[in-house]
Amino acid sequence: MKVSITLAFIAATSLVGLQAQSQAQAPKAKVGAKAPKFSTQRLLPQKSATPAPAVHPPANHEATLTPGYIMGPGSELLSTDGDTNTVLFYDTEKNGGNLDPRGPFEVLFDASTSWNVGDSVKITGIALSLRAGTSGTLTFEVRQGAGGTGNASVGGLASIGKATAVFPTDGGPDAYYVNFDTPISFVADAHSTSIVIRVSSTGGLEFKAWPPEAYLPTVNTKTGDFASYTVRLSLAGTVTPAP
């Protein structure tokens, strides 16, 4: 019995000593200090971040004529995205000339030094001096231009293809350029070693004309004859030689 009492007394004494030592080592709380607040954020289920809206490619649209064309391949204004083969078949366009003629006009381009029979050709863009009385859609129609009737040999030949572009509502006189959304593509034959580019508009259209023999001749594909003025423009595209 004495042994049990003695052991109990020793155990109690040791416990009291340990409690006193622990209290001495613990930092003393400041008088008036508030108890720390515990956040429950980690205990709540986390909300997943709202996913960003999917990015979709832009819808198909009509190309728009843009003012401020600068001549030369260095400007890279008449070039297709990612197509390093785009070349300037003809490049004389800059703002200038007289705004006399109105309505559609047809320009003859001799392509005999640009492509050969059997080559695959794409007309990708054009630049020309314009003023439109009203906004509208311009249509660029490419026709065969060699071996037809009339003194320009352009009468009675077929249409190769068309491209369109929107003329802006505030378009004053300037050198405008456009890269077509869809190129005008064809395989050159004996009648398309020269081509005629017919430009028409759903709105009022004026273009800048020059004296005969100055630049590209204008023609009448109905009669096949030359007109009395020339037009300065720039024409771009690609050529894949025949296999």
Residues 75-133: tens digit of each pLDDT: 788 875 545 688 999 998 766 566 566 678 999 999 999 999 999 999 999 998 887 66
Helix or strand run (H / E) with residue 211 = none
Q: What is the mean pLDDT of the chain?
A: 77
- Is residue 150 within 8 Å of residue 193, measured between CB atoms? no
pLDDT confidence bin for 24, thresholds 50/70/90: very low
Higher pLDDT, 8 or 150: 150
3-state secondary structure of 209: strand
pLDDT confidence bin for 188, thresholds 50/70/90: very high
Give the sheet arrangement for strand 105-110, strand by strand.
63-64, 159-167, 136-144, 194-201, 105-110, 216-220, 225-231, 209-210
d(CA 141, CA 164): 9
pLDDT at 22 over 60: no
217 phi/psi in degrees, rounded to 5? -75, 150
Q: Which of 118-122, 135-139, 158-162 has the lowest mean pLDDT?
A: 135-139
Residue 180's identity, in one-letter code, is F
Tokens representing 108 are 């003859």
| Segment 54-70 mean pLDDT | 64
Which whole-number Å values give the CA distances from 158 to 95, 146, 193, 234, in the listed order?
Answer: 32, 10, 13, 23
Higher pLDDT, 33 or 126: 126
pLDDT of residue 48: 46
pLDDT at 58 over 90: no
- Is residue 128 within 8 Å of residue 93, measured between CB atoms? yes
pLDDT of residue 38: 44
- Is residue 165 within 8 Å of residue 64, measured between CB atoms? yes
